[in-house]
Structures are given as C-alpha cells and as structure tokens.
Homo-oligomer: A and B are copies of this chain.
Amino acid sequence: MNTISQDVFDVMKPELDLVEARLLDASKIDYPVVSDMLRAIVSGGGKRLRPVLLMLAARAFNQWTENAIPAAAGVELLHTASLIHDDSIDKAALRRGNPTLNTELSTGAVILIGDYLFAQSAILAAEPQNPRVMVIFAETLAEICRGQIRETLEAHDLDQSRETYESRIYGKTAALFAGAAEMGAVLGGGTDEEVEELRHFGAELGMAFQVIDDILDLREGTETLGKPAGNDLKQGVVTVPVMIFAEQYNGRRETRETIEGILAGEITDQSVVDQVVEQIRQSGALQDAGKVAEEYTDAARTRLQAVKDPLIRDLFAQVLDLAVIRTT
C-alpha cells in the first residue's frame, strides 16, 4: 500500500483491537447477568470515533505511546456511561435499534451501572499516569454534565438563542471529541500550540457531528434510526433545524403552536409529530442546518494544518468525513 488514502480503520486496526480488549475487560463485574448486559452494551456498536481520534492525535507528533490505548478506551467508556444515564433520563427503550438497560433493570440499577462505567473510564484515564490527561478527563466529564443539565433545564424553549444551543451541544457532544483529541495530543508529545489546534479540531468535528445528529433525527425514519423521526421534539429538545424552521420558514402560527405543544409534552400523538416533521423536511430547514454543519467541518479542516505528516492529516480528514457523512 503506497497510496496516501489507506482506510483509517485498517491503519488503526491493531490499536483498536487493543482498545476493544480493554473495553471488554472494564465491563466485567461480579454479577454474571449485569456483566453480560454490560458487555453487550460496551461491544455493541458505534464506530469508535472518539478512540480513533485520540489515537490519531497521539500519533500526530511522532511520539506514539502505548498509553494512548487505555486513554482511548477511557473516552469511549465515558461516552457509553453518559449514554446509559441519558437513556435512563429520557426513559428510552431503544438505542441503535437495540433494547436499552431501562427495559431490563430498575432505574436505580441503571444509574449505578452508569456510575460504575464512569468509574471504570476514570481508572482507564488514570492509567497513563499523566496528570494533564487526568485533568482534561475530569474537566470533560464536568462539561458533559453541564451540557446535559442545560438540555434538561433549558432545551424546551423554541426562542432560545443560537449561543444557548451551541453551548448545549458543545457540552453534550463536542466536549468529549475535543477532550479526546487533546488527551491524545498531550500523550503524543505535541507542543502547547499543537495540542490546542487538535483540541479545536475535535471540538469543531464534535459540533458538526451533533448538528448532523439533529438533522438525522428529522430526516430519517424508524428503519435507520431505530426510532420514529422527531424524537428530539418529543423529548422537548429544540435543535438547530427546528430553530431555523421556526425562524425562517414557519409563516403559520398554528404550526408553531403545535411544535410548542410537542416540546411541552402536551401533544404526544405520533401522527401530529409526523406532520410537523414532514413540514420541516419540505421547508429547506434541513438543508440550511446542513450548511451549519459544513461551517463546523470547514473550521475543523483548517485546524488540521497543525499536523505536518500528510498521511496522518488524511486519516484525520477521514474521521471528519465519517463524523458528518452518516445515515445514523
């Protein structure tokens, strides 16, 4: 293979296999039933974009260290723990089309299993014995929590500012991508400036990722999402396509009132939700939101200039593509 475009997952396969092994290890617990469920969740999906990002960043400055493996497993497990608590808060029965823990365990047990995975992720992040990595890890966890608290307390308002939305999705999604890239760059021996550039790359990629997620929630159906379209609306969460629709495309007072009713949980009829989703689809709001995602993607791309090695830069660009060219 002499071409510059090797597939990032092929290149990273040896390290990713080690990460998988660490994840399986961390999901072990004394109770066979719980252990089986944890293993299913931990190994059950996702493209491992966060570990890949961390490990690429650790490679970017020619000081690759095996310590990137536990750190990469740590960020993935932090992501998983956070999904478990989210699903518990949303009372979600499905994730990626599979039953969540909520369908099999009490809320209390689900909270504790999430906490246990937080603990395991902290153990993994502490393994490189790098104080700076540990601080980034802890700050990232705090940022994720702030994002989730924002989502619970102030996501329902259709008239929220774009800044409110941005700070929410930064915490909810972008903070962990930013933290993963930063931890990797620190472990890989990047200069302060290089670390900062890769942190920004991760942050912009994460913002793009979440905007795409918000678009997919409206654009796709049950077949690809594993749940009906418009789930965010029903959870009371205002996303950027909905904001754009309300600002620019929605001349009719009734539609706005219907959206507010769905957000408030007063309207739960799926056929009404379907109608609103269809109006949003046909309005052009999804395309406009796509442009917002593109702006973040472009901003991410400029940060890649910090990476001198063209092969690594290409691999980063592939991760960026994967984050935004998705159907689920």
Contact in complex: A106, B145 (CB < 8 Å): no
Number of copies: 2
Minimal beta-carbon separation of A160 from chain B (angstroms): 14
- The distance in angstroms between the C-alpha atoms of A139 and B118, with both chains bound, is 11
Instruction: Say whether, besides A126-B134, A131-B134, A149 and B88 are in contact (CB < 8 Å).
Output: no
A9 on interface, CB distance cutoff 8 Å: no
Interface residues of A in 81-100 (CB under 8 A from B): 85, 88-90
Cβ-neighbour of A138 out of B89, B113, B123 (below 8 A): B123
Instruction: Say whether, besides A131-B126, A131-B129, A138-B126, A152 and B109 are in contact (CB < 8 Å).
Output: yes
B-chain residues with CB within 8 Å of residue A112 when the two chains form the complex = 85, 89, 145, 148-149, 152
Instruction: Say whether, besides A123-B139, A129-B131, A131-B126, A113 and B149 are in contact (CB < 8 Å).
Output: yes
Flag A13-37 by CB within 8 Å of B: 1 or 0 each. 0000000000000000111001000
Contact in complex: A145, B116 (CB < 8 Å): yes
A142 on interface, CB distance cutoff 8 Å: yes
Which single residue of chain B is at the shortest CB-CB distance from A140?
B119
Instruction: Say whether, besides A30-B146, A126-B135, A131-B126, A153 and B109 are in contact (CB < 8 Å).
Output: yes
- The distance in angstroms between the C-alpha atoms of A123 and B112, with both chains bound, is 21
Contact in complex: B138, A119 (CB < 8 Å): yes
A137 on interface, CB distance cutoff 8 Å: yes
B-chain residues with CB within 8 Å of residue A29 when the two chains form the complex = 146, 149
Contact in complex: A149, B107 (CB < 8 Å): no
Minimal beta-carbon separation of A256 from chain B (angstroms): 26
A108 on interface, CB distance cutoff 8 Å: yes
A302 on interface, CB distance cutoff 8 Å: no
A115 on interface, CB distance cutoff 8 Å: yes
Which single residue of chain B is at the shortest CB-CB distance from A151?
B112
Minimal beta-carbon separation of A31 from chain B (angstroms): 6
Contact in complex: A85, B109 (CB < 8 Å): no
Flag A242-256 by CB within 8 Å of B: 1 or 0 each. 000000000000000
Minimal beta-carbon separation of A129 from chain B (angstroms): 4
A residues adjacent to B (C-beta < 8 A): 29-31, 34, 85, 88-90, 106-109, 111-116, 118-120, 122-123, 125-127, 129-132, 134-135, 137-139, 141-142, 144-146, 148-150, 152-153
